[in-house]
């Protein structure tokens, strides 16, 4: 198991920027003075684009196969499909932004310093035109999601105001799409374009 982790760590150098591989040992034995009969690990593999994910996943499996070959052990793998990357529809995003401006909300259209996460909204965006805006509830450096302080910021007036502004802008965007066939057609046409 340790050799698998070492090989994956060595392989990271060869992946495209933005690729993430997270692993944990879920069963490494029950006593320190014996070699466990079985060991298990779980890895989460993420790529910026969904079409690159199989390349990374295959390499992770090959690392495990190489470790098994080197140690004379038997390997069993189970690959589960994860989430796809987000295909933001800029036709819809621009309309959402117009509504934010009307509500008096300042925002960046794109923030290259913002990270990305995993969400099933990416899968939705491959099926229909979609947006997944991120809106700040605190200043840069004060907190990040998955931190305890993020909960505190979400429970403050700025967090609630941001939530309400986002909900209003989203509702108004949908309200625009339904009775405006040209806007809806533009969103669908953008969605149908092949991705670079």
Structure tokens at 18: 């933005």
Structure tokens at 41: 């690990």
Average pLDDT taken over every residue of the chain:
91
Residue 190 and residue 181: Cα distance in Å, rounded?
Answer: 14
Are the beta carbons of 56 and 33 closer than 8 angstroms?
Answer: no
pLDDT band at 118 (very low <50, low <70, confident <90, very high): confident
Residue 173 and residue 20: Cα distance in Å, rounded?
Answer: 33
pLDDT band at 157 (very low <50, low <70, confident <90, very high): very high
**pLDDT tens-digit profile of 184-194?**
999 999 999 98
**pLDDT tens-digit profile of 41-91?**
999 998 888 889 899 999 999 999 999 999 999 999 998 887 888 889 999
Determine which helix (DSSP H) or strand (DSSP E) holds 24, and give its type and residue range: strand 20-27
Burial 80-105 (b: 16+ CB within 10 A, else e): eebbbbbbbbbbbbebbbebbeeeeb
- Find the mean pLDDT for residues 165-169: 97
Bridge partners of residue 41, in order along the sequence: 25
pLDDT band at 114 (very low <50, low <70, confident <90, very high): low
Please tell me the number of Cα atoms within 13 Å of 71 on its side-chain side. 18
Q: Identify the pLDDT of residue 80.
A: 87
Are the beta carbons of 70 and 55 closer than 8 angstroms?
Answer: no
**Burial of 47 per CB tally in 10 Å (0-12, 13-18, 19+):** buried
Q: Identify the pLDDT of residue 90.
A: 95
């Amino acid at each position: 198991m340790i050799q698998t982790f070492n090989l994956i760590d060595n392989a990271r150098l060869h992946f495209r920027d933005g690729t993430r591989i997270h692993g944990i040992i879920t069963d490494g034995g029950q006593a320190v003075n014996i070699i466990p009969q079985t060991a298990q690990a779980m890895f989460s593999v993420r790529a910026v684009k969904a079409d690159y994910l199989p390349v990374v996943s295959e390499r992770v499996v090959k690392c495990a196969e190489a470790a098994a070959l080197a140690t004379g052990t038997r390997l069993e793998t189970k690959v589960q499909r994860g989430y796809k990357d987000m295909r933001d529809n800029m036709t819809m995003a621009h309309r959402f932004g117009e509504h934010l401006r009307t509500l008096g909300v300042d925002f960046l259209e794109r923030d290259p310093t913002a990270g990305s996460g995993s969400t099933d909204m990416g899968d939705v965006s491959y099926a229909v035109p979609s947006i997944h805006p991120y809106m700040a509830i605190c200043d840069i450096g004060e907190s990040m999601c998955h931190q305890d302080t993020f909960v505190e910021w979400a429970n403050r007036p700025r967090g609630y105001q941001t939530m309400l502004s986002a909900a209003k802008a989203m509702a108004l965007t949908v309200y625009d799409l339904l009775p405006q066939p040209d806007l809806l057609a533009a969103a669908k046409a953008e969605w149908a374009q092949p991705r670079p």
